[in-house]
Amino acid sequence: MKPLRVLIVDDSALVRRTMAEILASDPEIQIMATAADPFIAADRIREEIPDVIVLDVEMPRMDGLTFLQRIMEQRPIPVVICSSLTEKGAETTLRALEYGAVEIVTKPKLGTEQFIRESTEMLCGAIKAAAVARRRQVPKVEPAFTADSVLAPPSSTAMVRTTEKVALLGASTGGTEALREVLTSLPHDSPGILIVQHMPEKFTTAFSRRLDELCAITVKEAEDGDTVLRGRALLAPGNRHMLLKRSGARYFVEVREGPPVCRHRPSVDVLFRSGARYAGRNAVGVLMTGMGNDGARGLLELKNAGAATMAQDEATCVVYGMPHEAVKLGAADRILPLGAIANAVLGACQ
């Protein structure tokens, strides 16, 4: 196979040089060119089309979002967004994912050998995931406000109470838009949901807020000790593992430190294993689009514990990696297109 040709677009010469050195350490990746802003990048693209673009979101002359939109309108190329760990950067990056970017990476910093090693795995993995990602038109979704946004409907489900069934969802590359489609299809009284989406810290805060604006259910970034409730989804915070726990009839989450599992923190395998242990047949596990194998073994553990298990099908995945690994293990009871997952989860929880 020919090496993947990468174009790096960032206004910082130090970041361009550091990223180029990190990516060049992988024999499957080749640095095609670097550019200090989108105008220079456009000239490079006219000379040669890269396989993947690594794009900063905050640059002079033209911001990364505007450049991304033009790329997707004129000639779609897989784009990995490179962003700093700031609240503003997280909000902008989420918009970039809605506009068609495939992955998020955080800007590398000079530091310890361990940080550089982890950055190498993260950056190279993101490039390879983007290169094989299926690009698709992502419809723009705006919040649909009803009377529910002011006052909850007169139903006992509006009261705080413990759920009996728990849905556990895991996703990676392409998962932000896939999760949005699933969660916006759920009614306000859906069973409690726990989610692991591979994202850096701070980005999960912005992502949960965005989902909360769009969904009938409540969506929040999980905090240690949060109770699992009907009508609420808890999203694992970036750089922290999230586990399901149980005390009597009450389900709650534990958010903790720990080593990366399957190269990820949070890890889907960690969430699914905790679900198998503490919920068993009361759990519903769903493994969605993503690169790698995180969640495959965990989904099998859920199935062996009596839980209903599902995997997203190849046709609707941006990257058919994680679900494919689960299917090969025989971990999925059902293989479903993205549009059928929400109803399948509700049916399994009845």
Q: Dump pLDDT digits (tens) for 95-141.
A: 888 888 888 887 766 555 555 666 788 888 889 988 888 765 544 44
Give the C-alpha separation, 253 to 274, whole Å.
10
Domain ranges of the chain: 4-132, 160-349
pTM: 0.81
Is 190 one of the catalytic residues?
no
Given 56, 212, 294, 313, the catalytic residue: 294
Asked whether the domain spanning 160-349 has the same topology as the one spanning 4-132, the reply is yes
Q: pLDDT, tens digit, for every residue of 253-277?
A: 999 998 889 889 999 999 999 999 9
Is 333 one of the catalytic residues?
no
Asked whether the predicted pLDDT for residue 176 surpasses 90, the reply is: yes
- Write down the pLDDT at residue 109: 65
Distance of CA 112 to the CA centre of its chain: 27
Superfamily of domain 4-132: Response regulator (3.40.50.2300)
Across the range 57-74, mean pLDDT stands at: 84
Give the C-alpha separation, 307 to 196, whole Å.
18
Is 241 one of the catalytic residues?
no
Given 172, 190, 208, 274, the catalytic residue: 172
Give the C-alpha separation, 297 to 302, whole Å.
9
List the one residue out of 227, 224, 219, 228 whose CA is nearest residue 241. 224
- Write down the pLDDT at residue 149: 35
Given 198, 241, 264, 324, the catalytic residue: 198
Which CATH architecture best describes the domain 160-349? 3-Layer(aba) Sandwich (3.40)
Across the range 43-50, mean pLDDT stands at: 92
